[in-house]
Copies of this chain bind each other. A is one copy, B any other.
C-alpha cells in the first residue's frame, strides 16, 4: 500500500492474507502481527535496537545444529515453552514440562528393572511408578522414554565421555502400567551460556541454573503424549529454574532406604546393592486424546 503508515500497517498486513489462508493460521497471524506491531510501537524500538534483535536471532541460527537448538533455549528462558506447556495441561493429568534440547531419539529399549547408571558412582536410586489414565486405570504397554544428566552434570550429547544413549532408555509398562529402573540422582546444571541466550541472561543478571530432574516422555495409543520432568524436593534451584519448568505435582521426595533392603528380584542390580539406596515413586497420568 502506497500510504502505509504506523497506524494502518497491521490492517495492511492482514489485507495481504489471501482468502484461502487456513483459518487457524490466519487467526494466529492476526494476533501475532497485532502484538508484534504493538510491541514495536509501544516501546518505540529504534533501528539499532531492532538490528541487535535480528543479530541475536542470526547468532542463534549460527550456533544451532542437530544437537543444540538455541531457539528452543530462547523460548525456554523467555517462559514461552513453559506457558505452552501450562495452557495445554489438564488439571487431572500430570503437568507437562519443557522438552529442552537434550532428548535423543531412538533410545534403546530396556527391560523393566534395568540399570541406567552403569559404571557411574553414587547412591543407587530405584525409580518406579505406574502409567494411568485420569480415572486411575492402568495403561499397559505405555512407552516411557527417560533421560537425565550424568553425575558430571552433562547430558550425553554434551559429553565426549558418554556414548549418545548414556542415561537414555525406553521402557515399556507391564500389564499393570508399572515401570521400574535404577539410576543415580540427576544433578543441577546450567543451560548453555556461550550463545545469545547466555548473553541475555548475563545482561539481565539471571543465572543459567536448572534444578536436577529426570526427564520423561510417556506415550500410549489413544492418549496424549506427556513430556514432563520429575524434580527432587531438596534441589536448591526449585524456586528459580531458569526455564520455568517446575510444577508442584512434579516435585517428589527421594525416600532413603536402609542398607540390605534392596529388592531381591526384578532388578538388574538385585544382589549387587548392599548399601542404603533411595526410592522415587512417580506415576504418570495421561489424558485420553478426546479429553
Contact = CB atoms under 8 A, between A and B. Distances in A.
Contact of A72 (B21, B46, B54, B251): B54
A244 to B, nearest CB: 5
- Chain A interface size band reads 35 or more
Given A22-B203, A87-B40, A203-B21, A247 B4 contact: yes
A47 interface: yes
A12 B244 contact: yes
Q: Which of A10, A35, A62, A227 has the most chain B CB atoms inside 10 A of its CB?
A: A35
Contact of A62 (B61, B75, B206): B61
B28 A32 contact: no
A86 interface: yes
A85 B227 CA distance: 42
Given A44-B87, A246-B1, A17 B204 contact: yes
B80 A244 contact: no
Interface of A: prevailing SS: helix
Interface string A34-69: 011111111111110110001001101110100001
This chain: copies in complex: 2
Nearest to A42: B31
A246 B37 CA distance: 18
A3 interface: yes
Given A25-B203, A28-B49, A84-B45, A33 B72 contact: no
Given A43-B27, A61-B61, A248-B2, A83 B37 contact: yes
A78 interface: yes
B47 A88 contact: yes
A238 interface: yes
A65 to B, nearest CB: 9
Nearest to A5: B86
Nearest to A211: B2
Contact of A244 (B1, B43, B242): B1
Interface in A79-105: 79-88
Given A1-B240, A9-B86, 6 more contacts: A2-B247, A3-B247, A21-B204, A33-B78, A45-B87, A46-B88
